[in-house]
Every structure is written in C-alpha cells, then in structure tokens.
Amino acid sequence: MSALRLLTAGESHGPQLTVILEGMIAGVPVPTDALNRELARRQISFGAGGRMRIERDQARITAGVMAGRTTGAPIALEIANLDYSAWADREIAPMTIPRPGHADLTAAVKYGYRDLRLGLERASARETAARVAAGAICKLYLAQFGIVVGSYVTAIGEVEAILSEDLPYPERLERAEHNDLRCPDPAATEAMRQHIQQMAEQGDTVGGVFEVVALGVPPGLGSHVHFDRRLSGRLLGALGSIPAVKGVEIGPAFANARLPGTQVHDPIVRDPDGTLRRRSNRAGGLEGGITTGEPIVLRAAMKPISTTRTPLPSVDLSTGNPTTSRYERSDVCAVPRAAVVGEAMVAWVLADELIRKLGGDSLEEQLPRFAALRRSHLADLPMDNTPWRFGYPGDTS
C-alpha cells in the first residue's frame, strides 16, 4: 500500500481542478509560489495551443498546510479553469464523431456515453495540471533530503538532440529551463522549432521523447521481494499514465536490448577509500527494482497529439455513416509540457518510497533517520572486513 495517495478531480472545461494528496508528513515547507512556478513551467511549450494563452494556472491551498508547512493532514488544492466562463452558458451540440487516437470512442464504449464530450473532458491533458501541483509538493519534500527531479527534451519528431555523455545532468537540467522546448542542445532546439512550425502549417501534429532524471536518490529505495514493490515498475507505470505517452524505458533500455550483456551491465568497483561505485549507469539507477545510488534516468516517448487540423477517417455514431474527424482546439506539440508532468509523476513515486523507507510522521523525525540511512551504508565486507560504503552522487564525505 502506498504511503502517499493522490486523487484528482475535474474536467477540462469545468470550473476547476481539485487535488487531494494524502499521507504527506508534517513540517514540509510549502510556499505557494513554488507550486505556481511548477504550474507555469507546465504551460511553456513552443507548439502549444490557444488554451495556454487563456489559462494562468494558480494553485489555491485549502487544507493540509498551515503557516506555510504541511500538517500531516490531507492536502487539498484547487486550480481554477479560466476558460470555464466561456463555456458555462453555451449550448453545445452532442459530439458524436470520435477522433482517432483519443479516448472518445473507448470511453463511450466503456461508460455508454451518447455524447463523446463526456469522455474527452476528463481524458484531456488539462488534468495533468493537478498532477503537477501535487508533484510540486513532493519535490519540495524530496528537496529536504537533497533529491532533485528535472527533465529535458531529447527529440521532437525526427529531430534529435546531440548530448555528450560528458555533459553533466545538472547542466542539462539548467539548460532546459532557458528555452520553450526544454532542450539542452541549442542547435537541435532551433531545428525542433522549425519542424513544429512545419507540422502546424501542414495541419498535423508531432510527438517526441523526453527524459526525467532524479539526482541524489539514496540506494535502497524499492524492493525486489514483491512485483508491486519494484521501483522500476512503479516508475514505468507512473510515466506511462501521462496522456499520449506510449513507451517508457529506464536508461538506454531499448538500445541495451540489442547488445551483449558484457556491454550492458555496469561494472562495480571499489575506490581506495572503500566506496563502491559503478563505472557507468546503463542500468539507469535501478537494479532488481531497487535504487543503486546512481542518477535515475527515465525516457518517455510521446505520440503526436490526437487532434489534427487535417481530418482523419471516422464514423458518426449518431448515424453510423462514414465521415471525418472534427478539429477541437489543441496543441501541435506538447512534449515539453509532458516532460514537466513526468517530473511530477516521478517525484510522487520517489516521495512515496522515501516516506515508506524512513517512516515517521514529521520532517523532524525523518531528517535524522535519513542521516542514519547514509551512515548505515558504511559496513564491512564479509570477506575481509575491509570498510566499504555505497557512493552517493556528488558525495565526497
């Protein structure tokens, strides 16, 4: 059972999104402007549709935080939909033509909808704003232990960023914050922008690939003893739950699948001071469903947005006749925005695992336990009693 439970409610054009985050410990500082910064990051993307010019997402904390700190009670947040006023009093004809690739038809089959809009309102990626708000709180919690979660875009359509292995993750994350495609490669960024513009002119959409990286995560989170405790599975599922994400890998998993094992597995070495390290991180920071202490590196593939200006073949469910899809206001490319949602989902999973690992009900309890956890990674090798320890990223102590 998860220590943290996340529940969101609300429709794309309803009055608001509502978030409940239950299980967060007491004492975590939660400045509202930190939540709003994360929401603003989610709205930045070259290729975003008109909706992002309307919304100015702001989180309103209504429970679980007092005097700027969590109380241990369920946290409730509200995010208003500014576009609601434009739809509230409109009489809208039922939507009966499903868009290929969207949840229009599958939701109607499952729930018996006669109006497809009932499905698209909840299936809309607008819901991810609620996840980002909750993820912002999880990031604030993880920051108390020196854990950072960030993201960057590595591909838009056929355009791929060229990132040297010598470019450290902190610098990649920093560079990503300085352009509207979240790409650390300036040359690729401009090519991506041109490609998105070309797709827009053709009445089409484009997907891509983003990476989410978690730095400073201690070894020992997750477990190999139960399938649902494997952190690898939880992280894959969390990223795979983001709308339009159709594939996720840990490290270069698909490339590794084509190589012999001797070129894939990370050699373990011992430094002169006894620190155990891996010479590489092709495992993406996870072995046996447990963190290794190396950076957690996850890569997600996002398909092109389902709503295209160019019509696609469909069927009008009200008549049974063949027809074409109708355009609904949408993005041309949402990969940079999805990357920020990916951060939120990874932060939520890691926060849940760390709370489970450390136990207790308050930050005051957990901080010394985390320090003890680091000390506990000092031990004796059973072979010769030579002191050894797990290496923490950036740890020189």
User: What is the percentage of the chain residues whose pLDDT exceeds 70?
Assistant: 91
Angle among Cα 267, 247, 189 to the nearest 5 degrees reads 85
Mean pLDDT of 237-265: 96
Q: Which of residues 276 and 127 earns the better pLDDT score?
A: 127
Q: Tell me the C-alpha distance between 120 and 152, whole Å.
A: 28
Q: What is the pLDDT of residues 173-202, one digit of tens each?
A: 999 999 999 999 999 999 999 999 999 999
Strands 387-390 and 275-278: parallel
- Rounded to two decimals, what is the model's pTM? 0.92
Torsion on CA atoms 389, 390, 394, 395, rounded to nearest 10? -30
Q: Tell me the C-alpha distance between 299 and 231, whole Å.
A: 15
Strands 208-215 and 148-156: antiparallel
User: Residues 6 or more apart from 112 whose CB is under 8 A from it?
Assistant: none
Q: Smallest Cα–Cα separation from 387: which of 395, 377, 396? A: 377
CB 176 within 8 A of CB 182: yes
In a domain, 210, yes or no: yes
In a domain, 81, yes or no: yes
Residue type, 34: A
Q: Is the pLDDT of residue 132 over 70?
A: yes
Length, in residues, of the chain? 397
In a domain, 397, yes or no: no
User: What letter does residue 312 receive in the DSSP assignment?
Assistant: -
Would you call 20 helix, strand, or coil by DSSP? strand
User: What is the count of structural domains for the chain?
Assistant: 1
In a domain, 68, yes or no: yes
In a domain, 395, yes or no: no
Confidence of residue 382 (pLDDT cuts 50, 70, 90): very low
In a domain, 314, yes or no: yes
In a domain, 15, yes or no: yes
pLDDT of the residue at 391: 57
Phi/psi of residue 54, nearest 5 degrees: -95, -50
Confidence of residue 318 (pLDDT cuts 50, 70, 90): very high
The residues that bridge with 71 in the sheet, in sequence order, are none
CB 289 within 8 A of CB 303: no
pLDDT of the residue at 392: 53
CATH number of the domain that 364 lies in?
Answer: 3.60.150.10
Q: Tell me the C-alpha distance between 229 and 216, whole Å.
A: 21
In a domain, 177, yes or no: yes
Mean pLDDT of 274-294: 91
Token pair of 110 as six digits: 């499952």
> What is the residue range of 98's domain?
5-390
Confidence of residue 379 (pLDDT cuts 50, 70, 90): very low
Angle among Cα 71, 72, 77 to the nearest 5 degrees reads 75
DSSP 180-214: TT--S-HHHHHHHHHHHHHHHHTT----EEEEEEE
